[in-house]
Amino acid sequence: AQSVTQPDIHITVSEGASLELRCNYSYGATPYLFWYVQSPGQGLQLLLKYFSGDTLVQGIKGFEAEFKRSQSSFNLRKPSVHWSDAAEYFCAVGARSGGSNYKLTFGKGTLLTVNP
């Protein structure tokens, strides 16, 4: 069974600073990996995903993530954070569960606060 760990429950950064959110996964084969963002009172929005190929993935809103198989990690980065990036971020790992079905397991989330 797959699992996801987001070690940081809450991170605070200053506007304009760089950001890295950590995600570690456990899965026996090559996983499908995702980052989602959730603004207060909203649903989850897909930021980026990794299925195969280039291990550095570009997403929306200026985010990127790097898949490191040796470290079982898929960390999310942004070079310069904006106040509007304040939200909760979820990492997820997916695995095919039969036919066209995929089981996704979500981490418990990292809450990002951005100071002016």
What are the distances in angstroms from CA 38 to CA 3, 30, 96, 109? 20, 26, 25, 9
Alpha-carbon span 78 to 85, nearest angstrom: 10
Q: How far is the CB of 46 from another protein (least distance, A)?
A: 6
Q: Are strands 56-58 and 64-68 parallel, antiparallel or unpaired?
A: antiparallel
- By CB under 8 A, name the binding residues for another protein: 32, 34, 36, 41-46, 49, 51, 90, 92, 94, 96, 99-102, 104, 106-109
Q: How far is the CB of 80 from another protein (least distance, A)?
A: 26
Q: Which two tokens stand for residue 21?
A: 């959110």
Residue closer to another protein by CB (options 15, 88) is: 88
Residue closer to another protein by CB (options 81, 107) is: 107
Q: How far is the CB of 66 from another protein (least distance, A)?
A: 19
